[in-house]
Amino acid sequence: MSENPTKQCTKCKEIKGLIEFPKRADSKDGLRTICKPCTAKGKSIYYITHKEERNAYLLENKEKRDAYNIDYYSKNKEKVSEVNADYYKNHREERVEYKKAYVKLFPGKVNALNMKRHATKLRATPSWLTEYQLKQIEAIYVEAAKLTRDTGIRHEVDHIIPLQGKTVTGLHVPWNLQILTKIENISKGNKLIQS
């Protein structure tokens, strides 16, 4: 047997090291025939193209699902946070592939969401802000980018009172901004966290 055994992916036709193939117990060599990147890409496209079916199911079972999620999260808050942080850190390539596939399949939807966010931020920026306060906002975004560079962990600027909250709407002003890691910001979402 050679020192660096290889195998050809049946999807992309590239010859790769065995470490590039997911495990599969019932195959001769114990590995799948499609490499990890191709597998991830296929899952992403399947996930995106079957969104309508998933949404219909989720709508039909919303109350049951919400009750289960709230109960599970309240009992396993730390575990959920750890699992989410671990997944986010260890599945970067899959997330990037998913995002690329989504943008390719739904460019109009992506543009609409981006423009909605931009318009919301513009509407939430009061005309009475001073030049100094606008500079403060800029400084917060610069600091978030610096933290990302220095630590290697993605940092984002979050609105403490969300711009699109369900019960209250905040402003795009310096005293409503805070810097969070991307994971913290994702877990917060559009919720108002009260201390």
pLDDT tens for 138-160 read: 999 999 999 988 998 889 999 88
139 and 93 housed in the same domain = no
Q: Cα angle vertex 97, ends 83, 91, to 5°?
A: 20
- With respect to residue 24, please indicate whether it lies within any of the assigned structural domains: yes
- With respect to residue 17, please indicate whether it lies within any of the assigned structural domains: yes
94 and 155 housed in the same domain = no
Q: Give percent of the chain with pLDDT exceeding 70.
A: 90
- With respect to residue 163, please indicate whether it lies within any of the assigned structural domains: yes
83 and 30 housed in the same domain = no
Domain end (from 51, 71, 105)? 105
Q: Mean pLDDT over all residues of the chain?
A: 83
By residue range, what is the domain housing residue 65? Answer: 37-105
- With respect to residue 122, please indicate whether it lies within any of the assigned structural domains: no
- With respect to residue 179, please indicate whether it lies within any of the assigned structural domains: yes
Which of the two residues, 128 and 185, has the higher pLDDT score? 128
> Helices 51-60 and 62-75 sit at what angle, rounded to 10 degrees?
80
28 and 58 housed in the same domain = no
42 and 79 housed in the same domain = yes
- With respect to residue 156, please indicate whether it lies within any of the assigned structural domains: yes
140 and 174 housed in the same domain = yes
Mean local confidence (pLDDT), 159-176: 85
- With respect to residue 186, please indicate whether it lies within any of the assigned structural domains: yes
Domain count within the chain = 3
Give the span between the Cα atoms of 144 and 154, in whole angstroms: 8
85 and 141 housed in the same domain = no
Look-up of token digits 């890409």: 41
Give the span between the Cα atoms of 106 and 110, in whole angstroms: 6
Give the span between the Cα atoms of 31 and 33, in whole angstroms: 7
175 and 143 housed in the same domain = yes
180 and 149 housed in the same domain = yes
- Comparing CA positions, the residue from 70, 75, 157, 144 lying closest to residue 117 is 157
- With respect to residue 119, please indicate whether it lies within any of the assigned structural domains: no
98 and 145 housed in the same domain = no
48 and 27 housed in the same domain = no
pLDDT value for 59: 81
14 and 46 housed in the same domain = no
